[in-house]
A and B are shown apart, each in its own frame.
Chain A
């Protein structure tokens, strides 16, 4: 008798045994890459000064390739645990279509290519930040924290939060408070987002022995922490207004969608269906919508020339 996971494994193996271009594309985690790119664009357009369009596009390409390289190296390292989780069993490494060695080589070549290109064609500060982000995600999060502590995604979330800073540095060649505030918003958003996922995928993490918060501290504590981080995220979301680099559209989006995000997190806190976790599934989607909308508001205000509100701090 085989488990559902083993069945899916053998079916997928029968469908294809050789790596295709699509398999290598899947190694790049394209959905993660799209959110990374979107937040990087926000940092890039918010930055003062001007760079040629070709430089801006090159910077975004390097950020996208760097994010993809991180994904490939993560999948290479995590092939063993990906094979134990229903969400990740279909990836090319656990399916045996790409070896961990090939995925590692692919990831390293792309990392070096993205950082070198960024350094040569954009600027060395942006290249250094990109290299730090890739190294942090692969070495600190994937290889060190992920299998050791329930704070894995809290600390590791820094890697996913940095793209707005890289976007800003691509234009200015330096860092400043505004991109770091955007980084803080994503950093505080990450735990509520991933712990919502881990609530309805707890059995996956138990099977793979990944010490996510519900596995180690239980679902009740996880729900409490989700509310805490959702509230902190929305509070941080008001910082751009207080510091005077965001306008009324951003404020309205953060207030309305942030309020919804917090209310939904409170509903996760009182969820009774611990088998299906419908509210956690909803919160996972809403968290993506919130982040997308907040960064879309940054882009919209810049594109439409909407002036920021008068800062409350640092006048």
Chain B
């Protein structure tokens, strides 16, 4: 019973860490595309 509980906890922790990592990567990509768009538009950003 205790082993099963431990196992479930470890599984949930591993899954949570993976979800954080995926969220981090997606956030980074959103920011990257945003900033690259600004860089590419350069001085025309407000046009």
Chain B residues whose CB sits within 8 angstroms of the CB of A24 once the complex forms = 18, 21
Docked-complex contact A54 and B36, CB < 8 angstroms: yes
Contact between chains at A20 and B17 (CB < 8 Å): yes
Is A121 a contact of B14 with CB atoms below 8 Å?
no
Contact B39 A52 (CB under 8 A): yes
User: Among the listed B7, B18, B20, B40, which residue makes an inter-chain contact with A19, where contact means beta carbons less than 8 Å apart?
Assistant: B18
Residues of A233-249 contacting chain B, CB below 8 A = none
**Residues of the A chain whose Cβ atoms lie less than 8 Å from the Cβ of B35:** 54
Min distance, Cβ B39 to any Cβ of chain A, angstroms: 5
Pairwise interchain contact A117-B29, C-beta atoms closer than 8 A: yes
CA separation between A121 and B40, bound complex, in Å? 9
Flag B16-43 by CB within 8 Å of A: 1 or 0 each.
0110110000000100110110011000
A304 to chain B, nearest CB (A): 28
Per-residue 0/1 for A1-23: is the Cβ within 8 Å of any B Cβ (1 yes, 0 no)?
A: 00000000000000011111100
A58 located at the interface, meaning its Cβ lies under 8 Å from any Cβ of chain B in the complex: yes
Q: Does A55 contact B (CB under 8 A)?
A: yes
CA separation between A16 and B7, bound complex, in Å? 10
CA distance A56 to B20 in the complex (A): 27
CA of A54 to CA of B33, assembled, Å: 11
Main secondary structure of the interface of B (DSSP, over half): helix
Q: Which of B14, B33, B40 contacts A18 (CB 8 A)?
A: B14
Residues in A neighbouring B15, C-beta threshold 8 A = 18
Find residues 46-60 in chain A having any chain B CB closer than 8 Å to their own CB.
52, 54-55, 58
Q: Verify B21–A21 contact, CB threshold 8 A.
A: yes
Which residues of the partner chain B approach A52 to less than 8 Å between Cβ atoms? 39
Bound CA span A307–B21, Å: 45
CB distance from A116 to the nearest CB of B (A): 10
Are the C-beta atoms of B18 and A21 separated by less than 8 Å? yes
Q: Which residues of A contact B36 (CB under 8 A)?
A: 54-55, 58, 121
Chain A: minimal CB distance from B12 (Å):
9
Q: Which residues of B contact A54 (CB under 8 A)?
A: 35-36, 39
Name which residue of chain B comes closest to A122, CB basis: B36
8 residue pairs A–B, Cβ–Cβ below 8 Å: A17-B10, A21-B21, A24-B21, A54-B35, A58-B36, A61-B32, A117-B32, A121-B40
Apart from the given pairs A17-B7, A19-B14, A20-B17, 6 other A-B contacts in the complex at a CB distance below 8 Å? A18-B10, A18-B14, A21-B20, A21-B21, A55-B39, A58-B32
Q: Which residues of A contact B (CB under 8 A)?
A: 16-21, 24, 52, 54-55, 58, 61, 113, 117, 120-121
